[in-house]
């Protein structure tokens, strides 16, 4: 295992931004302390070719102006909160309305634009970087001082393990995820990728993609990926693309209050993505009860890495997370972190090629 560090850019206040690259014999990935982002995942082919399988930018400046959350770490609350507000312990908290009348991915002051403190991890079996940050009480409108730790590591079996932990001094909704965009072909569309999900149900949503509170079966709908299926087969029947939260096997309908701490939830297989042309594959495992499947429906000729142009359906995000809008839906598992508890989420991206 190898890990290297270099300067990636400089903020307007003179702060230096670093880029870390971790390699094994078969692949590499890169992360930066700006936005705690995964900036690159490269898979090495048998004939010496190297294929970049994530969307991103060639330069630091691309991430400064990025509006698509390429590889970003998202918090305090990933996905949407209805009417950009919630009530906790009798008090109403108002958030940013950055998605119509709703809040998306933490609002205008997202963590994707914040600097994080990095620390290199190098063990005999894996290597990577741990990033930490203290989110002050009231940031983004949320209560409590939140201590957050994010680690990204690579092992010799081509697993990228993402671990997110947090603690708070006041009760606070917490929902953390990574927003990497994947295209295992390296270019073109992901319509010829196959996707298989270990998810028999999904969250019903309204026109603004806010969960209604109902958990509905996918069987017999365009949203059914319980058997391997080309993403492009039914994508035009899915309102022009997928942007839906699927329910993983971690979810327990009898555990609506999450009486079992997240840290005690077992990591379960959630998804398998395969490029049918190259045979490259990625599986996703997590201890979270939800996974947002997003097929880049809003990408509109975004100028990306090495001049590449990213259009609609050019990549897919598989964002493991708590249920969206859960602060406002009583029957959903609670996302409220209490003082003395530890938020401890694990997601593993495993690659074969």
Tell me which residues are annotated as active site.
179, 319
Across 158-190, b (16+ Cβ under 10 Å) vs e yields: bebbbbbbbbbeebbbbbbbbbbbbbbbbeebb
CA dihedral 293, 115, 31, 271 (to 10 degrees): -20
Positive or negative, the CA dihedral 41, 46, 48, 49 is negative
**What does DSSP assign to residue 231?**
T
Do 336 and 328 meet the contact criterion of CB atoms below 8 Å apart? no
- For the chain, the straight-line distance linking the first and the last C-alpha, in angstroms and rounded, comes to 19
Of 328, 334, 294, residue with least CA distance to 314: 294
- Return the biggest CA–CA distance within the chain: 62
Length in residues, the chain: 353
**What does DSSP assign to residue 76?**
S
Alpha carbon distance 350, 62 (integer Å): 27
DSSP 314-352: S-BEEEEESPTTGGG-TTSPP-EEPTT--EEEEEEEEEE
Alpha carbon distance 191, 214 (integer Å): 28
Chain centroid to CA 340: how far?
25
DSSP 172-204: EE-B-EE---B-TTSSS-STTEEEEES-SEEEE
**What does DSSP assign to residue 224?**
-
Backbone angles phi, psi at 164, to 5 degrees: -120, 125
Within the chain, residue ranges assigned H as helices are 60-64
Backbone angles phi, psi at 60, to 5 degrees: -60, -40
């Amino acid at each position: 295992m190898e890990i290297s560090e270099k300067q990636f850019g400089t903020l307007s206040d003179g702060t230096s931004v670093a880029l870390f690259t971790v390699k094994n014999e078969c692949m590499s990935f890169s992360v930066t302390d700006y936005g705690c982002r995964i900036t690159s995942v490269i898979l090495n082919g048998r004939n010496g070719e190297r294929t970049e399988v994530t969307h991103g930018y060639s330069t630091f400046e691309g991430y400064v102006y990025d509006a698509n959350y390429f590889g970003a770490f998202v918090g305090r609350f990933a996905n949407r909160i209805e009417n950009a507000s919630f009530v906790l312990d009798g008090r109403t908290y108002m958030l940013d309305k950055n998605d119509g009348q709703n809040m998306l991915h933490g609002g205008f002051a997202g963590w994707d634009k914040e600097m994080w403190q990095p620390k290199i991890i190098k063990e005999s079996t894996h290597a990577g970087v741990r990033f930490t940050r203290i989110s002050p009480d009231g940031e983004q409108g949320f209560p409590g001082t939140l201590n957050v730790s994010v680690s990204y590591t690579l092992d010799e079996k081509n697993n990228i393990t993402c671990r997110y932990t947090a603690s708070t001094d006041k009760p606070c909704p917490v929902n953390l995820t990574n927003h990497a965009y994947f295209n295992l072909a390296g270019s073109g569309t992901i319509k010829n990728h196959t996707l298989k999900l270990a998810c028999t149900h999904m969250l019903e949503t309204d026109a603004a993609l806010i969960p209604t509170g109902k958990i509905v079966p996918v069987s017999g709908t365009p949203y059914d990926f319980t058997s391997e299926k080309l993403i492009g087969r039914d994508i035009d029947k899915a309102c022009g693309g997928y942007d839906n939260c699927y329910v993983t096997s971690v979810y327990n309908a009898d555990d609506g209050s999450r009486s079992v701490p997240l840290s005690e939830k077992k990591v379960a297989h959630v998804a398998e993505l395969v490029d049918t042309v190259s045979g490259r594959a990625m599986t996703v495992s997590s201890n979270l009860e939800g996974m947002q499947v997003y097929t880049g429906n809003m990408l509109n000729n975004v100028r990306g890495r090495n001049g590449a142009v990213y259009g609609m359906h050019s990549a897919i995000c598989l964002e493991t997370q708590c249920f969206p809008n859960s602060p406002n839906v009583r029957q959903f598992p609670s996302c409220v972190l209490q003082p003395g508890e530890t938020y401890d989420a694990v997601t593993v991206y495993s690659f074969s090629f």
